Amino acid sequence: MYAFVNNGKKKVLSRTRMALSEIITILIMYHLSGYRRFVEIMEYVLVPLIVYIVRARFVKCCRISFMDSTPIKVCDNHRIYGHRVFSKYAKMGKNSMGWFYGFKLHLIINDEGEILSFCFTSGNVDDRNEAVMDSLIKEIFGKFFADRGYISQKLFEKLLEKDITLVTKAKKNMKNKLTNLYDRLMLRKRTVIESVNDFLKNICNIEHSRHRSMTNFLVNLVSALAAYSFLPKKPSICSASVMKKGFLFIAD
């Protein structure tokens, strides 16, 4: 255990896995490592990084998919009008948590929490945008579970033409439609994609306000998605738990 005094109060820090000598060495070597130069050359790897993640780190669709979007804020709302780095690209958007300034990351994952496809847009782009959906569903088929924000007759029909069945909860002002038991159970598991978004933000650091260029931002975004794919434990649903309750799973 280690302790230090701050404003007259003693605070205790738990022992880290790294030795003090290792921490000191990293701090000193940082100034000799040329890391700042590394930031400058990051922009040259953006295209190869995208090719790598799409071809080598994303998995194939297995007929069960979950879709959602998450905001990526570039600054606090109080600093919007003074923000300059992304003034040409970032836009105001709104989600269930309120207004934000920045971008959106649109994701499709499978039942094991693995990323199938992604799309990156400004914050004001609707989740049902035709160009966004075309980009996301190129290699997707089967059943598509999403929240009420994706409800659209036009989108439902378009997906159906591509062998994709969109399943969402009904809005309060809509007539109840018959939904089979399996679909209702899977809709309850849709929160798995919210857990994936939480992993991306809190573990892979996909969202922060220290970017100084658009290219640097995109490199951080794509590399964070790649880093997520290497995590040994990802949020997932357990189909076996459905079986234990006595429900029969029948593949479409």
Domain limits for position 75: 60-173+180-235
| Integer Rg of the chain from CA | 22
Q: What is the pLDDT of residues 75-89, one digit of tens each?
A: 988 889 888 899 899
Domain assignment present for residue 205? The answer is yes
Domain assignment present for residue 245? The answer is no
Contact by Cβ (8 Å): 111, 188: no
Contact by Cβ (8 Å): 135, 116: no
Domain assignment present for residue 158? The answer is yes
Domain assignment present for residue 164? The answer is yes
Q: Is the pLDDT of residue 34 over 60?
A: yes
Q: How far apart are CA 243 and CA 250, in angstroms?
A: 11
Of 91, 115, 111, 88, give the one whose Cα is nearest residue 103.
91
Q: How far apart are CA 68 and CA 168, in angstroms?
A: 12
SS3 label, residue 115 = strand
The DSSP bridge partners found for residue 99 are 94
Contact by Cβ (8 Å): 182, 201: no
Q: Is the pLDDT of residue 141 over 80?
A: yes
Q: Give the percent of the chain with pLDDT over 70.
A: 83
Quickly list H helices, 167-213. Answer: 181-188, 192-202
CATH number for the domain that contains residue 100: 3.30.420.10
The pLDDT mean for the chain works out to 83
Q: How far apart are CA 217 and CA 209, in angstroms?
A: 10
Structurally, the chain folds into a number of domains equal to 1
Q: Which residue has the higher pLDDT, 242 or 65?
A: 65
Task: Read off the amino acid at residue 242.
Answer: V
Q: Is the pLDDT of residue 45 over 70?
A: yes
Phi, psi of 189 (to 5 degrees): -90, 0
Domain assignment present for residue 78? The answer is yes
Q: Which residue has the higher pLDDT, 187 or 30?
A: 187
Task: Read off the amino acid at residue 58.
Answer: F
Domain assignment present for residue 19? The answer is no
Domain assignment present for residue 55? The answer is no
DSSP state of 77: G
Domain assignment present for residue 155? The answer is yes
